[in-house]
Structure 1
Amino acid sequence: MPQIVIIGSGFGGLTAVRTLRKQGCRDPITLISPRPVLFYYASLIWVPAGLRSEEDLTVPLDKFFKRHNVKYHQGTVTGLNDRQVQTDNGTLAFDSLIIASGGRFIKKLPGIEHIYTPCEGYAPTKAYSDRLAALEGGTLAFGFASNPKEPVAMRGGPIFEFLFGIDTLLRKQKRRDKFELVFFSPAAEPGKRLGGKAVKALLGEMEKYNIRTHLGHKMKGFSADAVHTEGGDIASDLTLFMPGMTGPAWAANSGLPLSEGGFFQADAYCRVPGFKGIYAVGDGGSHPGPQWLPKQAHMADLQAEAAAKNLLAEQQGQEAQHQFKTELICIIDTLDKGVLIYRNSKRAMLMPKLRFFNWAKRLFEWLYLRPYR
C-alpha cells in the first residue's frame, strides 16, 4: 500500500490527516514531529493576563492518532534523500509526502538575545509575562519585521494583539500611567496586507490609547535597554519582537527547490515543482498569491485540505484540481474586545471593535481544539 508521510503536528499537518481520512483514504499514514502534541499558538496572547497556561494550550495527540489510525514517529527532520525522510531518530520511506513543518524566525540582528519572540512557544511568552509582572514601570516596546528576500514572510498580527492586550491589562491593573508603550516597525505602513482601512484603524487605536509609534526605519539591532534603528534608538525595558520568517533549518538538506526567502516552493495546488507526490503547506511553503497572502493557521488549514485532496487524486492517476483558497481572517483581540478583519481576492472588510469578537475568538479556540482532545 502507498506510504503517506506527513511532517509536522501543527495546524497544517493535522488538517491533512483529517482531510485524507474524511476523503476515504485507508493507506498507512505516518506523522513525524518532535512531540506528539498540538500547541495552540493563537491563544498565547492571553498568557500575560493569566488567562491561559501551558496545559491549556498543549493538546496531547495520542487519542487523535489512534482514532485516525496514524503511526506517530517522534523525531526532528534533518533532510530528504531519494524518497526518504531523514530524522535524528531514523529514516522513513514514502510514496507521498506532505511538508507541514512550519517555518522559523530569522535571528540575525545583533542583540536579538535581548528580546522575546512569543510565537516561538510558551516558554518565551511566560518569561516575558513574568518580567512584565515584576516591572513597576518603564518603557515597553513591541514590533515586527519581515524577511527582506520575501516580504510576505512575516507574522505581525500577534504583536498587535499583545500590544493592545497589554495596554488593556495595565489599565485593568491601574498602572498604565507608569508605562510608556511604543510600537515600532521598519515598514511605514505596518500591517498593510490586512488592508488600508485596517492599517488606518490600528494606528488610530494606538493614537487613541497613547501608544507611541516609530515607523519606517530599518532595524539595526537590540540591546538590554533599547531597540536600535537607523531612525534612532528606542529606550526599552522590555521588548517583544517578531522577526521575519524563513523555512525550516532542514530545507537546505532537502534537495527541493527553495524560494529566495528559504521556503519550499509550491504551486497553487501545493505541489513542489518537479517532485511527484511531494506537497508543501503552511508557513514552510512559498505559494503563489497576492502580496497579502498570510502566514497564519487558517491559511495552513486551507492549503492542507487542497494538498490532501490532490495527493489522493494523484495516487489514482488523476490531475490535481484543488487549488487552495486565498483568504485572510483575523481577530485582533484586545483582551476584552476584538476587531474582525477579513480579506479575499474580491474584498477587504473591517468590523468595529466589539466585545462579541473577543467571545468569538474564545469560542473558536474551543471548537478548533475539540476534534484533537
Structure 2
Amino acid sequence: MPRSSPTVAAVDGERRELRLAGGGALSYDALVVAVGARRRAGLDGAHTFVSEDDDDGTQWIVRELELRQVRSIAFVVPPESGWSLPLYELALMTAHHAAARGVGDIALTLVTHEPEPLAVVGGDAGATLRRLLGLADVRVLAGRRATAWERRTVALDPPDPEGPLVVDRVVTLPRLSGPAIDGLPADEHGFIEVDDHMRVPGLPGVYAVGDATTFPIKQGGLAAQQAELAAALISRHAGPEPSRWVRLRAVLLTGSRPLYLQALIEDGRPKASSVAEEPPWDPPQKIAARYLAPYLAAWSDAGT
C-alpha cells in the first residue's frame, strides 16, 4: 500500500522548517509552495463546472436540450473563479452542439463579473471571443454578479434593465480560495502573497506558484512559467532580473475549429493579445509551457 504524503500544517520561516500535521518537521534550504486553491460551489443550486474533463458536467446539458426538458441555460462566471475561459468554451460548444442537432428556440445567457468577456486577455483575442458569442446567439451580461438562483430566477447585481433573468438551468465555475497556510502571509481569501518574482515577502528562500498565490490569473500555463522562474532563482542562474510581464497562451474550444490565443500580461492586466487559427507554439498543447507541454505530448503519444 503506498504511503500517504505528509500534510503541512505551518511554515516556520525563522527556523526554515515545515511543521507537519501529524507531528514532526521537515527542514528546507529553499521552499516552493504549489498546493493549488480550494474549490467550492459557485452558486447555490447551480451545477458547478469543475474542468474541461468534467464529462458528465457537459453531456447532460446537450441531453436535456435535445429532450426539450430545458429551453434556457445561464452560464455564470463568479468573481473568484480565477480563469473564465472554460465556461466560455462550454457556452460556445453547447450552442454549437444544439445547432448541429437541430435544437432551436433556446436561450443561452452568459453572466460574468468581468467588464467584458475574458477581459484579462482583452485586445484581438477578447474581441474575437465576443464575436463568436454573438454569432452563437449567446447573450452576454457583463459587469454583473449572480448572487442567487431561486424559482428559476437569477438575482443579478446590478440588475438587468431588460428585466429578471429566468432560466431552467444554471452552470457556474467554482469559487476559489487560497490554502491559508499558517506562517505564510496571505490576503483575506487565503491566497499566498508573492512579489513579481513569486517570492513570498519576508521569508527568504520561500516561493509560491500557481493557483495558491495572489496572482489574479489561475491558469496552468502561467503556473508552469512561475515554477520555471522560481527554479531559476533558486539555482542562482536567473541572469538579469526577469521582466514584469508573462506570456499567456490558451486554446479556445469553440465546437468547431479551435482558436489559439496569446496575450502579454503585466501585473495581472493585459498589454496586448492576438488570436490565430493555427497553433503558434509547439507542441500545441492546451497547457503551453516549455517543459510541461512536451512532457504531456509524449505522455499522450505513449497512450498512458
Residues 186, 218 of structure 1: 8 Å contact kept: yes
1:237-288 deviation digits (Å, cap 9, x = unpaired): 222212553312xx1x42211134431111222211111221100111124x
- The answer to whether the Cα contact below 8 Å between 2:38 and 2:177 also exists between their aligned partners in 1 is yes
Distance 1:174 1:74 in 2: 51
- Measured in 1, the distance between the counterparts of 2:218 and 2:125 equals 17
Pair 234,91 (structure 1): closer, same or farther in 2 beyond 3 Å = farther
Partners in 1 of 2:141 and 2:149 — Cα distance? Answer: 15
Q: Is the 8 A contact 1:270 1:303 kept in 2?
A: yes
Q: What is aligned with 2:255?
A: 335
Higher helix share: 1
Q: Which of 324, 348, 364 in structure 1 is aligned with 2:272?
A: 348
C-alpha offsets along residues 3-45 of structure 1, whole Å, 9 cap, x if unaligned? Answer: xxxxxxxxxxxxxxxxxxxxxxxxxxxxxxxxx9xxxxxxxxx
Distance 2:11 2:240 in 1: 24
Q: Residue 265 of structure 1 corresponds to which residue in structure 2?
A: 193
1:141 aligns with 2:74: yes
Which residue identity does 2:187 align to in structure 1?
Answer: S
Distance between the aligned counterparts of 2:263 and 2:213, measured in 1? 20
> Could you tell me which amino acid in structure 2 is paired with residue 143 of structure 1?
V
How far did 1:209 drift?
1.8
1:201 corresponds in structure 2 to 128
The change in CA–CA distance for 1:74 and 1:209 in structure 2 (over 3 A counts) is same
1:238 pairs, out of 155, 158, 169, with 169
Q: Structure 2 CA distance, aligned partners of 1:284 and 1:171?
A: 39
3-state SS in 2 of match to 1:286: coil
In 2, the alpha carbon distance for the partners of 1:313 and 1:323 equals 16
Residues 310 and 320 in structure 1, CA contact (< 8 A), matched pair in contact too? no
The residue identity in structure 2 corresponding to 1:281 is V
Tell me the amino acid that sits aligned with residue 204 of structure 1.
Answer: R
Q: Which residue of 1 aligns with 2:214?
A: 286
State the SS of the aligned residue for 1:74.
coil
Q: 1:63 aligns to what?
A: none
Residue number among 14, 18, 30 corresponding to 1:84 in the alignment: 18
What's 2:59 paired with? 129
The 3 A distance-change label for structure 1 pair 265 and 363 is closer
CA 1:326–1:310: 2 relative to 1, 3 Å: same
Measured after TM superposition, the shift of residue 340 of structure 1 is 2.1
Q: Which of 222, 233, 241 is matched with 2:149 structurally?
A: 222
Structure 1: how far apart are the matches of 2:73 and 2:296? 32
Mapped contact 1:338–1:356 kept (Cα < 8 A): no
**Superposition TM-score, scaled by structure 1 size:** 0.63
How far the C-alpha of 1:216 sits from its partner, in A, is: 2.5
Aligned to 2:38: 104
- Give per-residue Cα distances to partners, 1:122-147, cap 9 Å, x unaligned: 56x52453354244231121121224
Specify every segment of 5 or more residues in structure 1 that has no aligned partner in the other structure, as ranges.
Answer: 1-35, 37-71, 148-152, 288-292
Aligned Cα root-mean-square deviation (Å): 3.6
Residues 61-100 of structure 1: CA deviation (Å, up to 9, x unaligned): xxxxxxxxxxx8535544435611434x665503132111
In the alignment, is the contact (CA less than 8 A) between 1:267 and 1:273 conserved in 2? yes
Contact 2:146 / 2:155 at 8 angstroms: preserved in 1? yes
| Cα deviation digits, residues 205-261 of structure 1 (max 9, x gap) | 22222112222233322236342213154222222212553312xx1x422111344
Counterpart of 1:295 (choices 206, 218, 223) is 218
Q: 1:298 to 1:133 in 2, by over 3 A?
A: same
CA distance in 1, matches of 2:184, 2:250: 31
Residue from 142, 151, 171 that aligns with 2:99: 171
- List runs of 5+ in structure 2 lacking aligned partners: none
**Count of residue pairs the alignment pairs up:** 280
Given residue 116 of structure 1, which amino acid in structure 2 is its aligned partner?
H
Offset at 1:299?
0.7
How many angstroms does 1:333 deviate by? 1.2
Measured in 2, the distance between the counterparts of 1:170 and 1:211 equals 12
Q: Supply the distance in 1 between the matched residues of 2:280 and 2:32 (Cα, whole angstroms).
A: 37
